[in-house]
Amino acid sequence: MKMQYDIVIVGAGLAGMRAAIAAAEKSKKLSIAILAKTYPIRCHSVCAEGGTAAVLREDDDYDLHAWDTIKGSDFLADQDAVEFFVRNAPKEILRLDNWGCPWSRREDGRIAQRAFGGHSVNRTVFAADRTGFHEVHTLYERLLIYDNVDIFSEYFLTNLIVENGSIKGVATIELKSGDLVIFETKATVLATGGAGRLYGFTTYSHQVTGDGMAVAYRCGVPLKDMEFFQFHPTGLVPSGILMTEACRGEGGYLRNKFGERFMEKYAPEKMELAPRDVVSRAMWREIIEGRGIDSEFGSYIALDLTHLGEDKINERLPMIRDAAIKFAGVDPVDEPIPVRPVAHYTMGGIHSNKNCETQIAGLYVAGECACVSIHGANRLGSNSTIECLVFGKVAGEMAAEYALNSSGSHVPKDFILNEESRIFDHLLGRNGDENPYSLKKELNETMDKKLWIFRDRDGLSEAVGKIRELKERYSNVEINDKSKGFNTDLTSTLEIGYMLDLAEVVATAALYREESRGAHYRIDFPKRDDVNWLKHSLAYYTPEGPVFKYIPVTITKWKPTERKY
């Protein structure tokens, strides 16, 4: 089946919906399709809890937000992109306010802001601890007023159609029927989220498997800075459910088994509100040096909110209390929450400039699947949801402008036949002796052990070898369910293929980067090396594995300095 739209947006989270709104407002003449493997209000963006950063206060300014972001990135962020980002962030907060987002308020009625790690002032706008949930619902409700936007839920991305360096279409599987559906399009926006399910202990929803990143990579678009994966300090033990940074922003403490607030040793000025890479390394060091709290699920650190009191916890952190009770049997009003660092965010992604453009004409990227780069080697908490809003708008407007000036697209019949054969004959129809879920389990174990907070050459080399072995075995997987409709075995196996490609890039890039910067910490190269490594990595796809090139970081007015908190 073929459909035609001027613009196709893949992904229905914050970035995807914001792009669709921006494109729809650009011109009523444009036909716009949103494709997603879930429903918009079930996207992973609803899991964002703590808040969204923007300059709104009298004691804040754009340069200060930019400086905090650049310093937090360990100076790997492109500073021109950061300056654009911070200046446009407040507009998005006020726009969502006008569209009905129920931001938490100060007593004087103005939008409230809380402290977050690495920020110099209280800059994080929030809606209790359900910020992403309310932002998603606000955008979804807004989206429904545009007659030129159609939403295709439960469509699974399999490929991009590129001809002579330009986007021509998007290939998907309609999950209900199991049929291949081709969307012919003039412009495409990828807003497919991160790749956190590479890891086993993670805050990510199960659908976040890096689909857009992997598909773009296979189509020749480089992936940038994929060695930088963020570990959030506070994942609930044993599930990995996010215990938002707002817990510490509202005054929570981290304590070891002796009851000590140990962050005084690692970041005496910021304490628990140091950037995430600093706090996660400190917690992991406490654990591996024997100062964690023992449990049947391994050692953990105590997140102590008891001193905040029941009223404040119920007002500011109601979902955290509920999750702790339901999933750990702990009421934070009365006792600390068991937490340890958890895989949380993909700093790298599809290489783009600040206009969200890729090297394929008509292909734009936004949100976590993209790497502009504003996060560099470490993202500050609450800079992600606002990135989705700011650059979702840019991507939508750029796609609209491109589509308005483009002629129609046509997808060759040969592509459709080849794509159907690749998926349904060579993958679904294959007889093999490998179980795809066993490969995924081994991949998760490898990432959790070898590409965790502390890394070294031996572990990274072993990881690269193991991932390549898994890729070879993947070519012999067999899918037991041969049916078409809602074949989750098929889509899960496609996802595992995406994850194996991305894992190879992450591990190889980390092996090559012989320094410590932000979330990438090498115990054999513990210092940051600006002489040799103040540069972005670009991974290009080849059948034999990624080939790397490097490009300089854009520096405008903030020179790299020693990073202290």
Contact 445, 467 (CB under 8 A): no
Q: Residue 261 CB: number of other CB atoms within 10 A?
A: 13
225: its two tokens: 């800075």
In tens, the pLDDT along 76-105 reads 999 999 999 999 999 999 999 999 999 999
Contact (CB, 8 A) for 254 and 304: yes
Using a pLDDT cut of 70, give the percent of the chain over it.
Answer: 100
Non-local CB neighbours of 311 within 8 Å, separated by 6+ positions: none
Contacts by 427-433 with C-beta closer than 8 Å and gap 24+? 427/477, 427/479, 427/490, 427/493, 427/494, 428/479, 428/482, 428/487, 428/490, 429/482, 430/476, 430/477, 430/478, 430/479, 431/478, 432/476, 432/477, 432/478, 433/476, 433/478
Which of 484, 504, 507, 508 lies closest to 496 in space, CA to CA?
504
Residue 410 — pLDDT band, cuts 50, 70, 90?
confident
As a whole number, the mean pLDDT across the chain is 97
Angle, helix 457-474 to helix 488-512, in steps of 10 degrees:
150
Whether residue 476 is predicted with pLDDT greater than 90 in this model: the reply is yes
User: Which residues pair with residue 157 across a beta bridge?
Assistant: 172
Q: Rounded to an integer, what distance in angstroms lies between the CA atom of residue 283 and that of residue 303?
A: 11
User: Across the chain, how many H-helices and E-strands are there?
Assistant: 16, 21
**Alpha-carbon span 389 to 398, nearest angstrom:** 14
- Tell me which residue of 540, 460, 535, 442 sits closest to 496, measured CA to CA: 442
Q: How confident is the model at residue 160 (pLDDT cuts 50, 70, 90)?
A: very high
What CA–CA distance (Å, rounded) separates 391 from 90?
13
Rounded CA-CA distance 308/312 in Å is: 6
d(CA 276, CA 279): 5
Name the pairing type of β-strands 535-540 and 223-224: antiparallel
Element housing 33 (H / E) = strand 32-36
Mean pLDDT of 267-281: 96
Residues with Cβ within 8 Å of 419's Cβ and at least 6 positions away in sequence, in order, are 158, 159, 171, 180
C-alpha to C-alpha distance for 34 and 147, rounded to whole angstroms: 13
| Listed residue (264, 301, 256) closest to 565, CA to CA | 264
Tens digits of residue pLDDT in 219-237: 999 999 999 999 999 999 9
Structure tokens at 442: 């081994």
**pLDDT confidence of 408, banded at 50, 70, 90?**
confident
| Position 407 confidence tier, pLDDT thresholds 50, 70, 90 | confident
Query: What are the φ/ψ torsions at residue 438 (nearest 5 degrees)?
Result: -65, -40
Length of the chain: 565
Q: Residue 137 has what pLDDT?
A: 98
HEC assignment per residue over 187-236? EEEECCCCCHHHCCCECCCCCCCCHHHHHHHHCCCCEECCCCEEEEEEEE
SS3 125: strand
Distance, CA of 195 to chain centre = 7
Q: How far apart are CA 117 and CA 273, in angstroms?
A: 4
Give the integer Cα–Cα distance in Å for 262 and 156.
46
Read off the tokens for 184. Answer: 């012919």
Question: Measured in whole angstroms, how far is the alpha carbon of residue 146 from the centre of its chain?
Answer: 27
CA dihedral angle for residue 404, residue 410, residue 411, residue 413, rounded to 10 degrees:
170
Q: How far, rounded to the nearest angstrom, does the alpha carbon of residue 181 sit from its chain's CA centroid?
A: 27
Chain segment 241-266, per-residue pLDDT in tens:
999 999 999 999 999 999 999 999 99
pLDDT digits (tens, 9 = 90+) for 540-562: 999 999 999 999 999 999 999 99
Structural contact between residues 179 and 154, judged by C-beta atoms closer than 8 angstroms: no
Q: Which are the catalytic amino acids?
A: 232, 248
Interval 128-153 mean pLDDT: 97
Concatenated DSSP letters of 380-423: PTTSHHHHHHHHHHHHHHHHHHHHHT-------HHHHHHHHIII
- Calculate mean pLDDT across residues 151-173: 97
Residue 409 has pLDDT above 90, yes or no: no
**Given this model, what pLDDT does residue 197 score?**
97
pLDDT score for 560: 97
CA distance 536 to 545: 19
pLDDT tens column, 166-218 = 999 999 999 999 999 999 999 999 999 999 999 999 999 999 999 999 999 99
Round the CA-based radius of gyration of the chain to a whole number and report it. Answer: 23
Q: What is the pLDDT of residues 353-406, one digit of tens each?
A: 999 999 999 999 999 999 999 999 999 999 999 999 999 999 999 999 999 999
Global pTM exceeds 0.85: yes
